[in-house]
Amino acid sequence: MAMPDPENIFEHHDHRQCRHEAMRQVSDSCARQHLRLTPLRARVLEILLESHRAMGAYEILERLREEGQAGQPPTVYRALEFLVTHGFVHRLERLNAFMACCHVNRGTDKRHEPLFLICNSCRKVAEAPLGVLGRKIDRQAGAMGFVAQSRVVEVLGLCPACRGELENG
Amino acid sequence: MAMPDPENIFEHHDHRQCRHEAMRQVSDSCARQHLRLTPLRARVLEILLESHRAMGAYEILERLREEGQAGQPPTVYRALEFLVTHGFVHRLERLNAFMACCHVNRGTDKRHEPLFLICNSCRKVAEAPLGVLGRKIDRQAGAMGFVAQSRVVEVLGLCPACRGELENG
DNA sequence: TTCCGTATTGTTACTTTATAACATTTAATC
DNA sequence: GATTAAATGTTATAAAGTAACAATACGGAA
């Protein structure tokens, strides 16, 4: 999956293409790390990639049930736990929801922690690189004697489209 | 309430003193803004200040009930909504919990969004100023065409005490 | 291959967190 | 004091997440 144009991460693009490439990358990453991407785990990831937005666990569960797969909450939560632990899916704390990672580690198999942009108007979510901010946050924490292990950075506001609507209409 | 020494925000201090000063500041701020700090709202804030840590809504509810006050979930959630809206209490997304603000707006009545340091070991939480990082995060979001309205920044890791224990014991 | 131990999934039941909807009370303003 | 809006009380339920144990599938050793 190509790195999204930073100015257009809210824009549409070829979902099917990006979906298949993401699946392949995750599959490769699992193979390299001897992780088991079981059918259930793969299916949960696919559902997230297909929807291409943040989904609640119970929404995913419903989708699984529609397909005849077994379905109780722990099934989904366990698959999500695996996917989140290995960085293939992100959890949005503010929304109690999950989203497939948009730029899976290419070859590095390293988890990364992004910045999430959550639109207050249309509820769309974009994932952007945290970049140098991650280190700055760690340094800020370090100044208080705190050792940072992971970060949650979520920004709420207006996406380009909704901002435009407010300004024009 | 004095601004905490940045290097000691996890340290103990005179809770009773800081509690009373915080109540007074919130009370003043409400008066200036024509907000109604009702007995219920004041009591919920006091409970949070007394505990001096992050508490779940139901934990607060239980405390209220012990005191004979009426108690159903909406009671607490509504008080918390008021307190959070006006910046007297913060919500910790990662913990589904609430914490009294440690450095209430002094005279400015402006909400501020801090950085939270959550200890993975002892679960203590410290509130630190986000400082210039807030603007940097907004700028990062702005580069994607996004208008930031509010931020969630929570760092998980080890507080000074727990870090010390790991290193020494 | 067959057996064994471990990882994964299935299943039941439950806990925790949060909110909708409407009744009642309290408070501010005229 | 009557009117209206804000706040609280109350009932019921939705939404999110987990504990505990049973059944199954898988990966490697004998």
pLDDT per residue as tens digits for the range A27-54: 999 999 999 999 999 999 999 999 999 9
Contact B141 A6 (CB under 8 A): no
Which chain A residue has its CA at the smallest distance from B150's CA?
A156
- CATH class for domain A6-168? mainly alpha
What pLDDT score was predicted for residue B107? Answer: 60
A113 Cβ under 8 Å from any chain B Cβ? no
B115-119: strand order across its sheet: A125-128, A115-119, A147-158, B147-158, B115-119, B125-128
- Tokens describing residue B102: 């440690």
Count of CB atoms situated within 10 Å of the CB of B5:
10
Provide the 8-state DSSP code for B9: T
Give contacts of A142 with chain B, Cβ < 8 Å: none
What pLDDT score was predicted for residue A69? Answer: 85
| Confidence band of B69 (pLDDT split at 50, 70, 90) | confident
Domain with CATH 3.30.1490.190 in chain B: 113-169
Does nucleic acid strand C have an atom less than 7 angstroms from the CB of A42? no
What pLDDT score was predicted for residue B68? Answer: 87
What is the Cα–Cα distance from B148 to B145, expressed in whole angstroms? 10
- Tokens describing residue A19: 């979906």
Tell how many helices (H) and how many strands (E) occur in chain A: 6, 5
What pLDDT score was predicted for residue A106? Answer: 59
Contact B157 A136 (CB under 8 A): no
B118: closest CA of chain A, how far (Å): 9
CA–C1' span, A98 to C9, in Å?
Answer: 21
Euclidean distance between the first and the last CA atom of chain B, given in angstroms as a whole number? 35
Provide the 8-state DSSP code for A49: H
Interface test with B, best of A94, A139, A151, A152 (most B CBs within 10 A): A152
What pLDDT score was predicted for residue B112? Answer: 82
What pairs with residue B32 in β-bridges?
none
Quick check: A2 pLDDT over 80? no
Residue type, A43: R
B74: closest CA of chain A, how far (Å): 20
B113 Cβ under 8 Å from any chain A Cβ? no
Provide the 8-state DSSP code for A155: E
Select the residue of A93, A147, A163 nearest B93 (Cβ to Cβ): A93
What is the Cα–Cα distance from A81 to A85, expressed in whole angstroms? 6
CATH code that applies to domain B11-104: 1.10.10.10
Quick check: A4 pLDDT over 60? no
Model pLDDT for residues B2-37, shown as the tens digit of each residue: 444 545 677 767 778 888 999 999 999 999 999 999
Does nucleic acid strand C have an atom less than 7 angstroms from the CB of A119? no
User: Is it true that domain B113-169 has CATH number 3.30.70.360?
Assistant: no
Alpha helix positions (H), chain B: 15-33, 39-51, 57-66, 73-85, 132-142, 160-168
Instruction: Kindly give the interhelix angle for B73-85 and B39-51, rounded to the nearest 10 degrees.
Output: 80
